[in-house]
Structure 1
Amino acid sequence: MGLGSVAAQTNTVQVTQTVSGTDAESQRSVADREYQAVAFVPLSNNGVVHGVLSVYATSSFAFSEDDMRLLEELGRTIGLSIATMRNRQLLYSETITELNVEIAGSQDPLLTTSEQASCSLTLDTVVPITRESYLAYVTVDSAIPEEIATAITGKPSVLDARVIDSDTDHERGKLEIHLSNTASLAQIIEYGAHITKFIANSGTGRLVVASPSRDDTQSMLRWLYQMFDDVQFESLREIPWTPQETTTSLDALDVELTERQDEVIETAHYAGYFAWPRESTAEEVAAAMEITPPTLHHHLRKGVQKIVAAFVDPSGEQSVSQL
């Protein structure tokens, strides 16, 4: 395995300080260019490697420890830019490529828990909270939600889980699961894809993801083969794309929410804050988002006020632009 492949698989900078004694792949790539040293830099964002950058030097032992740290930071910066670009492409694309696969055989907490409990877990949405964590809202079928919350807590990449709604008589309910960025669902999002469907049923998952281009989707498929032990390809197709009907509606109403206002409102909605009786208190939603209750109320009030004002005052006589 060449050092470029090692850099991609381990997400670490790999350096050949001299042609002599290096592996065959690196030796050929350096010698062909008449260079004496090369660094392979993974372009990554939150653990997801989007590619590898090769940096060549004309002298041996050209890369110091400080140089390697700078290259590592450069790789993370470029990786973040790639992920941001893919997300923007997905947001504004009129058509997307949709990948449909069946997955099994991994440490994904939803898959392993659904297998252990012989139940169905359906992903409703995933909301980014920080650069290191996400909130996943999941519907439970054919199992008691409290037992599933207990079973999934402590699994790899699960930070916490709680029951939002429970119908023990019919073995159905909703969970809020706090995931680290090492979770497979989080890494799919970090890759720049949109999860349109994920159902884990007794250890087997049905996953549908959308990417802005066919090349991105094919790259995603190769990445899924590395992440899961068993991946069954079902379909790959281009379809018209509207990211969210709510986004379109808000655009039509000329509502401009800040990114944080959008995250707070979405999280509050899926956490059942707007339900009656409430399924989550403001304090619980704030704790899940790792912010204080006053901060939650601030963003929630501002965001909701913008939406309400757009409905009741579409002429904009009472401006909310400064909210």
Structure 2
Amino acid sequence: MERARSTTNSGGTVSEVEFEVRDAKYPFVGASEAEACTFDLAEMVPRQDGEYAEFFNVTGTEVERVAERAEEYETLDATVLREWDGGGLVEFAVAGDCPAMSLAEHGALPRQVRSADGVGRITAEIPPPYEASTVIDSFLDDTPEAELASKRRVDSVTPIFSNVAFEEALRVYLTDRQREVLEAAFDAGYYEWPREATGEEVAEGLGITSATFSEHVHAAERRLFSALLSGSGDE
């Protein structure tokens, strides 16, 4: 997986931007206000058909209550992955009405999404060849409820995982078949923004059906992110 080893930006500096969102129509904002809890985005993964899977660590409330509140939103499905005292890990499958998703579609890389007591903050990196001003303007046109809080230049794109943690998690938590499918998807550009290969194309290269590919890749993602992001270490 050579893509995971590239953490520097050789094409120029990266713009880091931060937006504030207070509108309760966004689930991570509305639920944090209603439950007086905190949401922290652990990872965001593109799915098929323009959807994204967002993995949130929730603290300050029972995570099942968050999943129940998610039923109020037509563009969201929630799945509880882990529970612990005063919180848990929940997966949001989103198809719209998500500012982090909108930023990703415009070329930004969401790095931190946090909401506490109804105030959401999104930090993202905008790498070349995207123009920061264009991405910001386009995002604010699509998400008028958001406000630009800050903008600065940084020297490199932040890696999501360390190489050691990434490789160890793959070895320990995934089956051989799950790792094969996940690596094929990764190497084909399935996780790039914009996506370089569809699930159907990756499945064809592996000689499996699209449904089988989705089953394997989703199971692998859930096991990997649940292990790395829950912080429990009990598996």
| Superposition TM-score tier, normalisation by shorter sequence | 0.5 to 0.7
**Which amino acid in the other structure matches residue 223 of structure 2?**
A
From 40, 52, 66, give the equivalent of 1:134.
52
Distance 1:214 1:103, change over 3 A: farther
Alignment of 1:25-44 (within 5 A): none
Q: In structure 1, how many angstroms separate the alpha carbons of the residues matched to 2:158 and 2:40?
A: 22
- Structure 2 spans left out of the alignment, 5+ residues: 1-5, 168-178, 192-216
Q: Structure 1 pair 220/156, CA: closer, same or farther in 2 (3 Å)?
A: farther
1:259 has 2:175 as partner? no
Match of 1:120 in 2: 38
Query: Per the alignment, in what secondary structure is the counterpart of residue 53 of structure 2?
Result: strand
- Aligned AA (2:22): A
TM-score (normalizing by structure 2): 0.65
Q: Find the counterpart in structure 1 of residue 155 from structure 2.
A: 239
User: Does structure 2 retain, via aligned residues, the 8 Å contact 1:120–1:140?
Assistant: yes
Q: Contact 2:52–2:95 at 8 Å: present in 1 too?
A: yes
Q: Which residue of 2 aligns with 1:9?
A: none
CA contact (8 A) 1:123 1:137 kept: yes
Alignment of 1:1-323 (within 5 A): 93-94=9-10, 95-105=13-23, 107-158=25-76, 160-167=77-84, 170-213=85-128, 216-226=131-141, 227-246=143-162, 257-259=183-185, 264=217, 265-272=220-227
Shift of 1:228: 3.7
Displacement of 1:166 after TM fit? 1.2
State the aligned residue count.
182
User: In the TM superposition, what whole-angstrom CA distance separates every residue of 1:149-171 from its partner, at most 9, and x where no partner exists?
Assistant: 1112231421x11211112xx41
Q: Separation in 1 of the partners of 2:28 and 2:47?
A: 19
Q: Quote the Cα distance in structure 1 between the aligned partners of 2:34 and 2:138.
A: 26
State the one-letter code of the partner of 2:62: I
Q: Which has the higher contact order (CA 8 A, sep 6+)?
A: 2
CA deviations over 1:83-118 (Å, ceiling 9, x no partner): xxxxxxx98733421112222226221111111212
Q: Is the 8 A contact 1:145 1:173 kept in 2?
A: yes
Alignment partners' CA distance in 1, 2:22 and 2:79: 25
Q: Identity percentage over the alignment?
A: 18
Q: CA deviation at 1:218?
A: 1.9
Runs of 5+ unmatched residues, structure 1: 1-89, 279-323
Rg larger for: 1
**Secondary structure class of the residue paired with 1:118:** coil
Corresponding residue SS for 2:224: helix
Q: Distance in 2 between matches of 1:230 and 1:195?
A: 14
